[in-house]
Structure 1
């Protein structure tokens, strides 16, 4: 009998069992991971976005072939997994990635069993161990900042035209000039921030750009994207066929692996855009160069740890993109916290009473209202006289 992961935030004990789901790319695994499965990944420095995606699938355990924290920087992924009550076993070795998917496995302590045999053994993470790893990783932040600076300078030398001339602009049927643009990336707190921005979307009617899976986030909120930008590896077929204009991010040499998938869906008018950087960067640069008045970003990377989660190879382009876009860019991160409704029940009661008082005063100021209160007073006298007569 399969056991589901505990919902409590204390650390689980005892064995857990479930069908194996194996994939070296965590974002691909989460597309087919089901509640009760054992997730087998190969993910150095497990980041926040991947951790949240894993726990949303509710596996009974996560088995990592690689170290979930290498010590390069204080990544929060392992802590998020453990806080969700899901056991996490680290450094099980590359052999675990060759296990047959679908077979029933049992995680007991630090050992993974299949058909009664131990097929992998690693390090069972605890909150105390993760906290110790975080302390060690925080000591390495200065080295990471130095590496970030060097990487940024190298990227600037290689791609300095990005800041000066921007990217080559394709012809689009979507009109962006002079309009607000909402760029949605499936990143940190994207669901909360996007939900908080729904009043803005209804009032301002911005151009909606989904970056890969960000298009699905828009659809989940009942919004149809105008543009989908990305390499098309983490966006659903439903989003790709929703009627949005597609911009396929290609390598500088023109190769666009995502184009085959788009064409297989019968879409023949997709635009191919060879450009450096990430798809998130391309979406912002496209909006800027097409004349957007304001760019609101949901789920994008803004802090040092978020840049490190992304990896140094993608950090420099994002940093330079933000320099180029400048004052047009507004981060939606945290909007859900700032605008969360905090009206108490007592406040609502006082509001109702104030409304009733205003209604009484308004009636008393009119002839009809005074007549009504006169009749009401007579009825009250009659009721009181009847009550006294009972005794």
Structure 2
């Protein structure tokens, strides 16, 4: 048995299929067809990216950057391999230039295209991923120290933006004294939206999608009232869905997301502020007089921010300090909010439903005779 297991581990690994390549994972995930081999360049593959690749039903994933660099234990690679999607690292970037649909062959540690070797690959199975994650745990304390220092440094530089009057824009969507739901496409956004579906249906909060969070709302069956962000990860269809659009601009006025909306013939608002787009969405709701701000999928810890590519969370700390107790997490809402069952109303509905059934039964001669005999037998039995 041991000899057989050893032989099985030594069997050559071969994989073939069409490819689609892009350095930007979120762009690539939208282009993937089921069965494609995804080629990307993503240092420390994050959980959200892994979810997108799984949802796109990628045949395999080839990363031209380290899937786990060792800085911190990112969860994306583990999600991929546990979903049954082969993950391979390669140092070759030639494969990033392959045209869509080009067929490649992965044979052991070689990556081939039209019989030409493009480079070597390293297969990352679950054991290899867990081993690398365990090693990266040793670096967490040092990474946390750098993260805290970075947060404090930028908090000192950005505090005047958050302590002074923020930009005032006139919106068609009223938020004064209303609940506002801010949706970010974070690791748990699908579960969070399912958990608070009844809250959304009953209280009708203002729905703000942050970039891809707007698509998340549409997927869950809701229509965003506002879309906030860089506009780089939300679909054209959702952008054209009628929501008010707020482009997150840099403090100096530059707004990279504006060009895309202009190409689509859409006119947005600009909101210049340092920090993340989810910070902008929350501050906007706060400044517009929201009674309560409920956050879905937002980033709130070091791992979240490192996976987002940020080395600190100064703006997020300052945003939460300014908003105060108006901000709650969707998980808390799902625990506190739920529909209570009115049993009296339920009995009335059930009784009303039985009335026409009893009338129909009584009008049927056969049923009426049966019921008549049943009543006579019960009387005899009683006497």
If the length of structure 1 is used for normalisation, what is the TM-score?
Answer: 0.81
Q: 1:340 to 1:77 in 2, by over 3 A?
A: farther
- Could you tell me how far 1:165 is from its partner in structure 2? 2.4
After TM superposition, the structure 1 = structure 2 runs for residues 83-98 of structure 1, keeping only pairs within 5 Å, are: 83-98=82-97
- Which 4+ runs in 1 deviate beyond 3 A? 333-341, 372-375, 377-382
- Tell me, yes or no, if the aligned pair for 2:33 and 2:56 is still in contact at 8 Å: yes
- Could you tell me how far 1:156 is from its partner in structure 2? 1.1
Q: Secondary structure at the match of 1:30?
A: helix
Q: 1:206 to 1:250 in 2, by over 3 A?
A: same
Whole-angstrom distance in 2 between the partners of 1:13 and 1:279 = 46
- Could you tell me how far 1:223 is from its partner in structure 2? 1.6
- Tell me, yes or no, if the aligned pair for 1:41 and 1:97 is still in contact at 8 Å: yes
- Tell me, yes or no, if the aligned pair for 1:18 and 1:36 is still in contact at 8 Å: yes
- Could you tell me how far 1:166 is from its partner in structure 2? 5.5
State which of 300, 307, 316 in structure 2 corresponds to 1:309.
307
Q: 1:223 to 1:246 in 2, by over 3 A?
A: same
Q: 1:271 to 1:333 in 2, by over 3 A?
A: same
Whole-angstrom distance in 2 between the partners of 1:58 and 1:337 = 33
- Tell me, yes or no, if the aligned pair for 2:148 and 2:312 is still in contact at 8 Å: no
- Could you tell me how far 1:163 is from its partner in structure 2? 3.5
- Could you tell me how far 1:263 is from its partner in structure 2? 1.8
- Could you tell me how far 1:335 is from its partner in structure 2? 6.9
Q: Which residue of 2 aligns with 1:348?
A: none
Whole-angstrom distance in 2 between the partners of 1:254 and 1:378 = 89
Q: Which residue of 2 aligns with 1:295?
A: 293
- Tell me, yes or no, if the aligned pair for 1:17 and 1:60 is still in contact at 8 Å: no
State which of 268, 271, 274 in structure 2 corresponds to 1:273.
271
Q: Which residue of 1 aligns with 2:133?
A: 134
Segments of structure 2 that go 5 or more residues without pairing to the other structure are 1-10, 340-346, 355-369
Whole-angstrom distance in 2 between the partners of 1:186 and 1:105 = 32
Q: Which residue of 1 aligns with 2:256?
A: 257
Whole-angstrom distance in 1 between the partners of 2:12 and 2:85 = 10
Whole-angstrom distance in 2 between the partners of 1:118 and 1:315 = 43
If the length of structure 2 is used for normalisation, what is the TM-score?
Answer: 0.83
Q: Which residue of 1 aligns with 2:283?
A: 285
Q: 1:325 to 1:111 in 2, by over 3 A?
A: farther
Q: Which residue of 2 aligns with 1:52?
A: 51
CA RMSD in angstroms, aligned pairs only: 2.9
Q: 1:153 to 1:71 in 2, by over 3 A?
A: same
Q: Secondary structure at the match of 1:105?
A: strand
Whole-angstrom distance in 2 between the partners of 1:155 and 1:61 = 39
- Could you tell me how far 1:307 is from its partner in structure 2? 2.2
- Tell me, yes or no, if the aligned pair for 1:299 and 1:333 is still in contact at 8 Å: no
Q: Secondary structure at the match of 2:67?
A: coil
Q: Say if 2:206 is the partner of 1:207.
A: yes
Q: Secondary structure at the match of 2:295?
A: strand
Q: 1:158 to 1:25 in 2, by over 3 A?
A: same
After TM superposition, the structure 1 = structure 2 runs for residues 288-367 of structure 1, keeping only pairs within 5 Å, are: 288-313=286-311, 315-333=313-331
Q: Secondary structure at the match of 1:159?
A: helix
After TM superposition, the structure 1 = structure 2 runs for residues 1-391 of structure 1, keeping only pairs within 5 Å, are: 14-165=13-164, 167-268=166-267, 270-313=268-311, 315-333=313-331, 376=374, 378-379=376-377
Q: 1:181 to 1:61 in 2, by over 3 A?
A: same
Whole-angstrom distance in 1 between the partners of 2:165 and 2:55 = 38
Q: Which stretch has the larger CA shift, 373-382 or 128-137?
A: 373-382
Q: 1:73 to 1:217 in 2, by over 3 A?
A: same
Whole-angstrom distance in 1 between the partners of 2:335 and 2:55 = 21
Q: Secondary structure at the match of 1:140?
A: helix
- Could you tell me how far 1:318 is from its partner in structure 2? 2.2
- Could you tell me how far 1:147 is from its partner in structure 2? 0.9
Q: 1:111 to 1:323 in 2, by over 3 A?
A: farther
- The count of aligned residue pairs is 346
Segments of structure 1 that go 5 or more residues without pairing to the other structure are 1-11, 342-351, 360-371, 383-391
Q: Which residue of 2 aligns with 1:344?
A: none
